[in-house]
Amino acid sequence: MGFIGKGLFEGMVVTARNFVGSYFDKERLVTVQYPEERVQVPENSRTFPFLVFDKDSDPVASMRCVACKICEVECPPQCIYIVMDRDEKGKPQQRPKVFDIDISVCMQCQICVEVCPFDAIKMDNNYEKSQYGRFDELVEHLPELLKSNEFYNKIKPTEATAVDAKLKADAEKKAKKAAPAAKPAATAAKPAAPAAPKPAPVAAPTAKIAIPDDAPFTPEQRQWLSGYLSTVAASGVAPAAAAPVAGTPAAPATEAPAGNWPWHDPGLGMQRRLDLAKETPIADKLMAAMAQTDCHACGYDCRGYADAIATGAETDLSLCLPGEAETANMLKKLMQEAGKL
Amino acid sequence: MDQVYKVAPQLLKFLSYLLGWLPWIGKPVAGFLSNPPAWFLLAVAIAIPILFVVSVFPGIFAYTTLVERKALGRIQNRIGPNRVGRWGLLQPIADGVKLLTKEDIVPRSADKFVHFLAPVIAVIPSVLLFSVVPVGAGLVPVDLNIGILFAFAISTASVLALFMGGWASRNKFSLLGAMRAVAQVVSYEVPMVLAAVAVVMAAGSLSTLAIAKAQGGGILNVTHWFVFRPWGFVGFILFTIGAMAESARTPFDIPEAESEIIAGYHTEYSGFKFALFQLGEYLASIAMAGITVTMFLGGYNGPGSGPGILGGLISMFWFFAKLGGMIVLTIWIRGTWPRVRVDQLMSFAWKVLLPMSIVNIVAVGMWHYIAIRPIAWVVTTLWLVLWFITLSKLAASENIEKREYRYAS
Ligand code: SF4
Ligand code: SF4
């Protein structure tokens, strides 16, 4: 048997050992003196999303995001805000002009990363995000969000290597697929990154009227006009009106570039797009029902998916992620109307 | 003070020698200092110890807090403060500035006057305690012939401040803390005084200086320390426990048990009033350590201590070294032991400490009357050990029912 207070002295020995040990044993002294030292965060840790770009020389042009807005739709707390970029003609540029993430709302769930078909958005592991304000200061904009692929490789080597390999394989597959298709169309389908130009459509659309670049219209007016004129031209009413309205000598109206479909604009509503495509073949109508973001979530661009459905090559009508149920239902309806289903 | 009075003329001569070089005022001031009137000598002799106590011990307090935080940190495998100055050496100053600039909050329904007075009163007894602590050979601010009695009387007065603070705050936690403080101090005062009685009997004087002097001599001025006697050893332990309880140090910090009653009696204090409470508490604990050193650890006696300038300096060194040792011991204990429960605290004081201190007084009596030292050693040791075992058994045999935990596993 011990004596009263034996445990007390044993305790004193323990603390004395701690005291002395903390001076000699690095294992004991676990404190990390934060601003001077930092612990290496685990590779799979995550904080907030960032956008990946490929070329240091031009981050904006080489960013992988195509502004398809899937992440915006899927983000549970709705903290992403995207506006698609357009050139001065109002043509969608397949990249965001505005991409904001409110990190005070973001719950770091990584869902945006999982839904992105382009590996364009990834989770960062930078935890030093404190700011001096609660509102605007905590909204991250495109410039802060853009980080290079090297950075991604640095913070998450394993994951990034896998992504790179996958992107490379995809690009090769696409190049192979595009090569035979490109010959009959006689256009150079460039095998490239996801944001590559769309391959020529299989079913040629009816002639479209292009409003020349230097016509004095705002993008909205231009869009409306071109849509209107196309409709008119397609319905055969006043076909001669086209050239005079364009008002320029030898307007290259016949050179309608692939993709000059008036409804091909994610800014328009479903009804408006369908109206624009009212008098067109089924493939165009189907295309008009898509979300028009060319996000490739379905495996095609909007044109390609519509054509594939029209030709019967693709039977799944629910592949358009950004269009969600609205598009899927409309596709079904259109197919039924056309008697193909 | 007497010592200072004796050396004061030389000190003043030295000063006058220094100041004599100054233009204009140098000559008259030097003349005055080299031949001072009696009242001036007395004033100087009074001022020097006061200045010493008021400057040195708060300084020790400031750095005790730093050492405490550092040591507790190391005990818990942390680093402790190291941001302000090298090794955090300026931390006490930063703390002081912080506390000074903090808002002073007085609860609306508090008794404002008493609330204000309590922290002031908390400091005064602690400072007064130092007036009877000899810091070197013959160096005691006031050599009272009832020094020990004075120390006990004064140290008990500090509980008044705690109760005032707790009462005036009009806060249940404050009041609970204050009540605990009163209960604790009153019950630990008894074994503590009885432990001191043993020393007083052995030294034959109540004067702290005389007690310290009685422990001089022997081999290297060490062997006659009271702690190296059977009764002195037991008395030392009893007195240390009592002193810790008296100054509410862990494991007896139930008056301010933060996990139960927030901060006890100073729950409602902020800013510098809080700092004053801390100051009072630490000063009391340092002073009690000083008195423990004086009574049991040979006071200022150590190898080389003695009269004269050199011996005096060495004796001061020994005193402060032992004081530091005691402070480190209390910190070490604070870092190790858990807080006792209120009922354990009380039963420990009345069932173990009190009987043991009475037994100890008997042991001193035996020591005094048995003239042959070896026999006295054997008899007193046996007496104390037997009683200790008996009391341990008694305290441990208290039928503790094994608790059945029905809902917790
Ligand atoms: S899902 Fe990817 S590509 Fe689409 S908007 Fe979000 S980040 Fe950009
Ligand atoms: S991590 Fe989750 S919450 Fe944050 S932006 Fe992505 S989807 Fe939204």
Pick the more confident residue, B304 or B267: B267
The CATH fold assigned to A49-162 is Alpha-Beta Plaits (3.30.70)
Q: Please determine, for residue B2, whether its predicted confidence score (pLDDT) is greater than 70.
A: no
Pick the more confident residue, B325 or B271: B325
Buried b (16+ CB within 10 A) or exposed e, B285-302: bbbbbbbbbbbbbbbbbb
- 3 state DSSP class of B125: helix
A64 CA: nearest ligand 1 atom: 3
Domain ranges of chain B: 107-349
Q: Is A21 in the pocket of ligand 2 (CB under 6 A)?
A: no
Q: Please determine, for residue A33, whether its predicted confidence score (pLDDT) is greater than 90.
A: no
The pLDDT assigned to B21 comes to 65
What's chain A's average pLDDT?
A: 78
Using the beta-carbon criterion (under 8 Å), do B77 and A8 form an inter-chain contact? no
A105 CA: nearest ligand 2 atom: 3
How large a percentage of chain B has pLDDT more than 70? 90
Report the distance separating Cα B104 and Cα A113, nearest Å. 52
User: B139 vs B8, B316, B322, CA distance in Å?
Assistant: 13, 8, 16
Residue ranges of chain A assigned to CATH 3.30.70.3270: 49-162
Which residue among B74, B333, B336 sits closest to A22, beta carbon to beta carbon? B74
The predicted model gives A212-235 an average pLDDT of 67
As given in the structure block, the two tokens for residue B28 are 């008259």
The pLDDT assigned to B45 comes to 72
As given in the structure block, the two tokens for residue A174 are 């696409």
The pLDDT assigned to A78 comes to 92
| Residue among B168, B326, B343, B147 nearest B249 (CA) | B326
β-strand A92-102 against A139-140: which pairing, if any?
Answer: antiparallel
Confidence of residue B325 (pLDDT cuts 50, 70, 90): very high
Q: Is B76 on the interface with A (CB under 8 A)?
A: yes
Test mutation, A1, A12, A13, A19, chain B, max B CBs within 10 A: A19
- 3 state DSSP class of B225: coil
Confidence of residue A79 (pLDDT cuts 50, 70, 90): very high
Q: Is B87 on the interface with A (CB under 8 A)?
A: no
Using the beta-carbon criterion (under 8 Å), do A29 and B392 form an inter-chain contact? no
Using the beta-carbon criterion (under 8 Å), do A28 and B77 form an inter-chain contact? yes
Q: For residue A19, which residues of chain B lie inside 8 Å, CB to CB?
A: 71, 74-75, 332, 335
From the number of C-beta atoms within 10 Å of its C-beta (0-12, 13-18, 19+), residue B373 rates as: exposed
Q: Please determine, for residue B172, whether its predicted confidence score (pLDDT) is greater than 90.
A: no
For B183-198, how does the pLDDT look when each residue is reduced to its tens digit (9 = 90+)?
A: 888 888 888 889 889 8
Pick the more confident residue, A229 or B232: B232
Which residue among B78, B388, B395 sits closest to A31, beta carbon to beta carbon? B78
Query: What separation, in Å, do the N-terminal and C-terminal C-alpha atoms of chain A show?
Result: 91
Ranking A168-177, A185-194, A322-331 by mean pLDDT, the lowest is A185-194
Q: Is A80 in the pocket of ligand 2 (CB under 6 A)?
A: yes
For A270-283, how does the pLDDT look when each residue is reduced to its tens digit (9 = 90+)?
A: 888 888 888 888 88
Query: What separation, in Å, do the N-terminal and C-terminal C-alpha atoms of chain B show?
Result: 65
Ranking A77-81, B307-311, B315-319 by mean pLDDT, the lowest is B307-311
Closest A-chain CA to B395:
A4
Ranking A29-43, B119-133, B210-224, B311-325 by mean pLDDT, the lowest is B210-224
Q: Please determine, for residue B284, whether its predicted confidence score (pLDDT) is greater than 60.
A: yes
Distance from the CA of A66 to the center of ligand 1, in angstroms? Answer: 6
Q: Please determine, for residue A134, whether its predicted confidence score (pLDDT) is greater than 90.
A: no
For B61-101, how does the pLDDT look when each residue is reduced to its tens digit (9 = 90+)?
A: 888 889 898 888 888 888 888 888 888 888 888 888 888 88
Which residue among B75, B79, B389 sits closest to A15, beta carbon to beta carbon? B75
Confidence of residue A178 (pLDDT cuts 50, 70, 90): confident
The predicted model gives A333-339 an average pLDDT of 85
The predicted model gives B196-210 an average pLDDT of 88
Provide the β-strand partners of residue A146: A51
Q: Please determine, for residue A287, whether its predicted confidence score (pLDDT) is greater than 70.
A: yes
Using the beta-carbon criterion (under 8 Å), do B332 and A12 form an inter-chain contact? yes
Distance from the CA of B209 to the center of ligand 2, in angstroms? Answer: 76
Q: Is A19 on the interface with B (CB under 8 A)?
A: yes
Pick the more confident residue, A268 or B177: B177
Which residue among A4, A30, A31 sits closest to B395, beta carbon to beta carbon? A4
Q: Is B332 on the interface with A (CB under 8 A)?
A: yes
Q: Is A106 in the pocket of ligand 2 (CB under 6 A)?
A: yes
Q: For residue B337, which residues of chain A lie inside 8 Å, CB to CB?
A: 8, 11
Report the distance separating Cα A82 and Cα A180, nearest Å. 36
Q: Please determine, for residue A77, whether its predicted confidence score (pLDDT) is greater than 90.
A: yes
Closest A-chain CA to B82:
A33
How large a percentage of chain A has pLDDT more than 70? 76
As given in the structure block, the two tokens for residue A251 are 């307007």
For B334-364, how does the pLDDT look when each residue is reduced to its tens digit (9 = 90+)?
A: 888 888 888 888 888 888 889 999 999 998 8
Which residue among A8, A19, A31 sits closest to B79, beta carbon to beta carbon? A31
Using the beta-carbon criterion (under 8 Å), do B77 and A30 form an inter-chain contact? yes
As given in the structure block, the two tokens for residue B169 are 């705050």
Report the distance separating Cα A149 and Cα A161, nearest Å. 10
The predicted model gives B234-248 an average pLDDT of 88
The pLDDT assigned to A4 comes to 64
Provide the β-strand partners of residue A51: A121, A146
* Cis amide leading into A262 (omega within 30): no
> Are B185 and B218 within 8 A, CB to CB?
no
From the number of C-beta atoms within 10 Å of its C-beta (0-12, 13-18, 19+), residue A73 rates as: middle
- 3 state DSSP class of B136: strand
Distance from the CA of A64 to the center of ligand 1, in angstroms? Answer: 8
Provide the β-strand partners of residue A63: A53
The pLDDT assigned to A253 comes to 42
> Are A170 and A119 within 8 A, CB to CB?
no
The residues near A59 (Cβ < 8 Å, ≥ 6 apart) are A53, A146, A148
Pick the more confident residue, A151 or B52: A151
List the Cα angle B268/B274/B278 in 5-degree steps: 130
Q: For residue B77, which residues of chain A lie inside 8 Å, CB to CB?
A: 18, 21-22, 28-30
> Are B231 and B380 within 8 A, CB to CB?
yes
What's chain B's average pLDDT?
A: 83
Q: Please determine, for residue A199, whether its predicted confidence score (pLDDT) is greater than 50.
A: no
| CB neighbours of residue A157 within 10 Å | 11
How large a percentage of chain A has pLDDT more than 90? 9
The pLDDT assigned to B19 comes to 65
ipTM for the whole complex:
0.72
Q: Is A257 in the pocket of ligand 2 (CB under 6 A)?
A: no
Output the 3-class SS for chain A.
Answer: CCCCCHHHHHHHHHHHHHHHHHHHCCCCCCCCCCCCCCCCCCCCCCCCEEEEECCCCCCCCCECCCCCCHHHHHCCCCCEEEEEEECCCCCEEEEEEEEEEECCCCCCCCHHHHHCCCCCEEECCCCCCCCCCCCHHHEECHHHHEEEHHHHHHHCHHHHHHHHHHHHHHHHHHHHHHHHHHHHHCCCCCCCCCCCCCCCCCCCCCCCCCCCCCCCCCHHHHHHHHHHHHHHHHHCCCHHHHHHHHCCCCCCHHHCCCCCCCCCCCCCCHHHHHHHCCCCCHHHHHHHHCCCCCCCCCCCCHHHHHHHHHHCCCCCCCCCCCCHHHHHHHHHHHHHHCCCC
